[in-house]
Structure 1
Amino acid sequence: MAITITRRATLALGAAAAAVTLARPSLVRAAAPFEQPPLPYEQNALEPQISARTVGLHYGKHHKGYFDKLNQLVPGTPYADMSLEEVVAASKRNGDDKIFNQAGQAWNHNIYWEQFTGGPAKATGAFAEAIERDFGGEDKMFEAFRKEADGLFGSGWVWLVMDGDKLALKSYQNAGNPLPDGLKPLVGIDLWEHAYYLDYENRKAEHIAAVLKDRVNWQAAGERMT
């Protein structure tokens, strides 16, 4: 079936392109075939919060699988000539769930692995001030993350985003992310069980707290904000 890129989708692509400026150059991918970026560190680098076994399964099987399936689906479609970020936005707007699920998860995990590089590190400068202004401090932001995650039924993601000139938390089921909404993602927490079950079993809240406090490079997240 032919795919029509509507004016609304075109606007969404523009918003997605703007949001992508937050990403480091290694995360901006060319058009298909899409390539999974190399893991930015050794598989044991995130221990003890995230084990090497979990990283091996999460990155080597799940993340890789999204890229593999996406590259099977896009040939012969208009998406084959788009960047990964454009595919995420356009497929969401067009209701192409099969494409969006794979593209969304591929892109989500690019950000997920990158946000741990050089971490943990504290927020500084304008970003630290924004956290204080919009959440009442780092600890209250972490608690807000937990509550947002508790409110999400099933698998999905919680994202810290720039919504206009304010920080906000947005939760999305399954492969969802802020790109189609024109928001700037800063940090994403994976709530799929493959992200934590080997290490924490059903203790999802414990995993979230450990990752937020002891793994994320908040200083780098602040650089994305600007």
Structure 2
Amino acid sequence: MEHKLPVLPYKLNELEPYISQKTLEFHYGKHHQAYINNLNNLIKGTAFENASLDDIVKNSEGGIFNNGAQTYNHTFYFEALKPNGGGEPKGKLKEALLSTFGSFEAFKDEFAKAGATLFGSGWAWLAIDAGGKLVIMKTSNAGNPLRDGFKPILTMDVWEHAYYLDTQNARPKYIENFWNVINWDIVEKRFEA
């Protein structure tokens, strides 16, 4: 199966001023595409040649895992962004956030802290554990909660290529901007699926 760069549900300039067109041209157009190209080349003639991206993330190692997980992670990240996003979720997801963290602000603080304190490159995640409880996780490099039996519903990319053109080395400013482009409708669908 050939993996392809998904079409974004927004134009490259529509997340401005929070994420610039220039950042998306590099992050989506070059980095994300490179992971997909590498993955397609690496899986040829292997047991993963016709595997789903989920199976690749859960079961592969080495270069196939790194490029497969980065393909998954970036797709997951980009599809949960939207122009004029942000605000708060509604319905069952909001109830679960309040039950787990006490308030939406407490969730935001804990999620932002996970992203800000991750050493080096990686991802902050909101995921569901085997018991159905929401958890915040952080993974290094291409790490993904699927590997440990969790169901991810939201991620924030904290590799420098996600923000360096916009905020230079100010990861906290990028995290602050991230809250303005989250598509809570997508996150809610993932939560309820």
TM-score bracket for this pair, using the shorter chain length = over 0.9
CA RMSD of aligned residues (A): 1.3
Confirm or deny: 8 A CA contact 1:148 1:158 kept in the other structure: yes
2:52 matched to which residue of 1? 83
Alignment of 1:46-125 (within 5 A): 46-91=15-60, 96-117=61-82, 119-125=85-91
Deviates more, 1:203-212 or 1:193-202: 203-212
Any conservation in 1 of the 2:116–2:171 contact (CA below 8 Å)? no
Supply the AA of the counterpart residue of 1:108.
N
**Cα offset, 1:222, TM superposition:** 1.6
Structure 2 counterpart SS, 1:80: coil
Structure 1 segment 135-154 matched on structure 2, within 5 A: 135-154=101-120
- Looking at structure 1, the residues matched to 53 and 186 of structure 2 have their Cα atoms a distance apart, in angstroms, of 22
CA offsets, 1:86-145, max 9 Å, x none?
Answer: 111110xxxx21111000000101111110146335301111111111112121111101
Q: How far apart in 1 are the matches of 2:116 and 2:22? A: 25
Separation of aligned partners in 2, 1:89 and 1:117: 28
Q: Is the 8 A contact 1:43 1:55 kept in 2?
A: yes
- Classify the secondary structure of the residue corresponding to 1:78: coil
Taking structure 1 as the reference length, the TM-score comes to: 0.81
Contact 2:15-2:82 at 8 Å conserved across structures:
no
1:206 paired residue number: 173
The one-letter amino acid of 1:147's match is K
SS at match of 2:100: helix
CA distance in 1: counterparts of 2:176 and 2:144, whole angstroms = 21
The separation in 2 between residues aligned to 1:62 and 1:223, in whole angstroms, is 27
Name the SS of the counterpart of 1:112 in structure 2: helix
Query: Shift in Å at residue 56 of structure 1?
Result: 0.7
Query: Which residue identity is paired with 2:67?
Result: Q
**In structure 2, how many angstroms separate the alpha carbons of the residues matched to 1:50 and 1:208?**
11
Cα distance in 1 between the residues matched to 2:97 and 2:185: 12
Deviations 1:149-191 (A, max 9, x none): 2332100001000112211101100011111112111110000
Measured in 2, the distance between the counterparts of 1:49 and 1:116 equals 11
CA distance in 2, matches of 1:45, 1:215: 10
Could you tell me which amino acid in structure 1 is paired with residue 2 of structure 2?
P
The alignment status of 1:155 with 2:124, answered yes or no, reads no
1:9 paired residue number: none
Identity fraction in percent: 42
Unaligned stretches of 5+ residues in structure 1: 1-31
Q: For residues 186 and 88 of structure 1, what CA distance do their matches in structure 2 show?
A: 16
TM-score by structure 2 length?
Answer: 0.94
> Is the partner of 1:133 in helix, strand or coil?
helix
2:163 paired with 1:225 = no
**SS of 1:176's equivalent?**
coil
Q: What per-residue deviation string (whole Å, max 9, x for no partner) do you get for residues 19-68 of structure 1?
A: xxxxxxxxxxxxx2211111221000111110000011101100000000
